[in-house]
Amino acid sequence: MLPEQTFLRIPGPTPIPPSVQRTMSQPMIGHRNQETKDLLQTIKPKLKPVFGTEQDVLILSGSGTAGLEAAVVNAVQPDEAVLVIVTGAFGDRFVKICEEYEIAVHRYDVQWGEAVSPEAIAAYLADHPDIKTVFATYCETSTGVLNPIKELAHVVHQNTDALFIVDGVSCVGGIQTEMDTWGIDILVTGSQKAMMLPAGLTFVAVSERAWRVIEENERPAFYLDLKRYRDQLANNSTPFTPAISLLFGLEQVLTMLEEEGLNQVYERHQMMKDMTRAAFRALDIPLLTSDEAASPTVTAIKPNDFKAEALRNILKSKFGLATAGGQQHLKGQIFRIGHMGYCSPADVLQTISIIETALHKIGKSIELGKGTKAAQETLLKVDV
């Protein structure tokens, strides 16, 4: 491989479009100047459709985890009980954040690799009427599971007065998201996934219902106080110094999403998922999740006759292809392929072809080209 040639196929950070890189390299401007106000005024309406909301989407400088913590700090009173649905490592992170603030956590664990059942959550809520907030993960990055957020929102609001807070970090911008219609009260994502930016921004959208709860919350907050961001954004400003270069890039990302069309963006991600899964089925290499539970943004593979880390090492050292490994108890057992953001079916074809070659190098007996052919055929079924 060439010394500086890398292929980033992890579920974040993801590749940055060249036009976004160019935009981020423009000269710096003052964060309290009119130029920044104009920039935010342009960004605000373009962010709303990505979230499926009429609310202004708050922009914080920080990672996605900062947005998750902000949701907890602002929406949960110190003496309230919450339910956290855990389908992987990032559901577990929500638990840790809540516990750090000494919140009474009801933890509902789902086997890693499976999506949560809305009916099971409805039953759990019926048995625990004290729960004031429900936390869920839209795409569980650690397993490649997409949880049924629309249906979960329905059962939460049908059975309780609880807020429904969603971690959308590894999928918003890559899959259909209808915050207002579905009934999500707080939705969080980060810049470095389907939003095609470097890490450093987190986005938080808040429903009117959630704002009423936040206004009454006595828990103190400073940098993560969402009311400050709401009030300043109304004036096209931020309460603290924003990441200006990332805002330049964000404007270009939103322009790209508009030009492609959000429905086309979602169809592209669905196609890349289908191609990837078809390839590994053709190679007879097990997938961690079912088709019904699989995310359009990341695929988890659980090999049963070769070591996942051996393959990942060859992919990185010989071909410059970066994939992700497993987390927590899945460490060493799975590998994950990100296909989100600035990624196309052509990238998937290249990735599968490289993986087939690497499998051959580690001694896995396969028919070279079989996985690539399956991905090609999947693409050709709709792209003729």
Helix (H, G, I), strand (E, B) or coil at 284: coil
Q: What is the pLDDT of residues 254-273, one digit of tens each?
A: 999 999 999 999 999 999 99
| Contact status, residue 36 vs residue 247, Cβ threshold 8 Å | yes
Q: What is the pLDDT of residues 93-134, one digit of tens each?
A: 999 999 999 999 999 999 999 999 999 999 999 999 999 999
Rg, C-alpha atoms of the chain = 21
Q: Residue 372 maps to which CATH number?
A: 3.90.1150.10
Residue 78 banded pLDDT, cuts 50, 70, 90: confident
Q: What is the pLDDT of residues 37-72, one digit of tens each?
A: 999 999 999 999 999 999 999 999 999 999 999 999
Task: Specify the higher pLDDT residue, 79 or 342.
Answer: 342
Strands 145-146 and 139-140, bridge-based pairing: antiparallel
Q: What is the pLDDT of residues 133-157, one digit of tens each?
A: 999 999 999 999 999 999 999 999 9
Averaged over 151-179, what is the pLDDT?
97
What total of structural domains would you count in the chain? 2
278 and 245 both lie in a single domain:
no
pLDDT at residue 296, rounded to an integer: 98
Averaged over 298-303, what is the pLDDT?
98
237 and 356 both lie in a single domain:
no
Please report whether residue 203 resides in a domain: yes
Partners of 162 in beta bridges: none
Averaged over 335-347, what is the pLDDT?
98
273 and 169 both lie in a single domain:
no
Please report whether residue 345 resides in a domain: yes
254 and 340 both lie in a single domain:
no
Mean pLDDT of the chain: 97
| End-of-domain residue from the set 237, 259, 281 | 259
| End-of-domain residue from the set 259, 282, 299 | 259
- As to burial, measured by CB atoms within 10 angstroms (0-12 exposed, 13-18 middle, 19+ buried), residue 56 is middle
Going from the C-alpha of 306 to that of each of 290, 291, 350, 364, the distances in angstroms are 21, 23, 22, 7
Please report whether residue 2 resides in a domain: no
349 and 233 both lie in a single domain:
no
Please report whether residue 294 resides in a domain: yes
187 and 279 both lie in a single domain:
no
Q: What is the pLDDT of residues 313-331, one digit of tens each?
A: 999 999 999 999 999 999 9
Question: Phi/psi of residue 77, each to 5°?
Answer: -75, 155
Q: Residue 214 maps to which CATH number?
A: 3.40.640.10
80 and 202 both lie in a single domain:
yes
Q: What is the pLDDT of residues 64-75, one digit of tens each?
A: 999 999 999 999
Please report whether residue 272 resides in a domain: yes
Q: Which helix (H) or strand (E) holds 337?
A: strand 335-338
Please report whether residue 1 resides in a domain: no
Residue 90's nearest CA partner among 145, 150, 155, 16 is 145
Q: What is the pLDDT of residues 231-258, one digit of tens each?
A: 999 999 999 999 999 999 999 999 999 9
Please report whether residue 40 resides in a domain: yes
pLDDT at residue 326, rounded to an integer: 97
Residue 380 has pLDDT above 80, yes or no: yes
| Rounded CA separation 341/103 (Å) | 35
One-letter amino acid at 313 equals N
Q: What is the pLDDT of residues 1-36, one digit of tens each?
A: 788 899 999 999 999 999 999 999 999 999 999 999
Inter-axis angle of helices 244-260 and 262-282, nearest 10: 80
Output the DSSP codes for 51-75. HT-SSPEEEEES-HHHHHHHHHHHH
149 and 249 both lie in a single domain:
yes
- As to burial, measured by CB atoms within 10 angstroms (0-12 exposed, 13-18 middle, 19+ buried), residue 275 is buried
| End-of-domain residue from the set 209, 229, 259 | 259
Residue 384 has pLDDT above 70, yes or no: no
313 and 362 both lie in a single domain:
yes
Please report whether residue 348 resides in a domain: yes
291 and 367 both lie in a single domain:
yes
Range of the domain at 333: 7-14+261-382
Partners of 137 in beta bridges: 167
132 and 246 both lie in a single domain:
yes
Residue 185 has pLDDT above 60, yes or no: yes
Residue 158 banded pLDDT, cuts 50, 70, 90: very high
Percentage of residues in the chain with pLDDT exceeding 90? Answer: 97
pLDDT at residue 79, rounded to an integer: 86
| Rounded CA separation 73/86 (Å) | 19
pLDDT at residue 382, rounded to an integer: 84
269 and 121 both lie in a single domain:
no
pLDDT at residue 383, rounded to an integer: 62
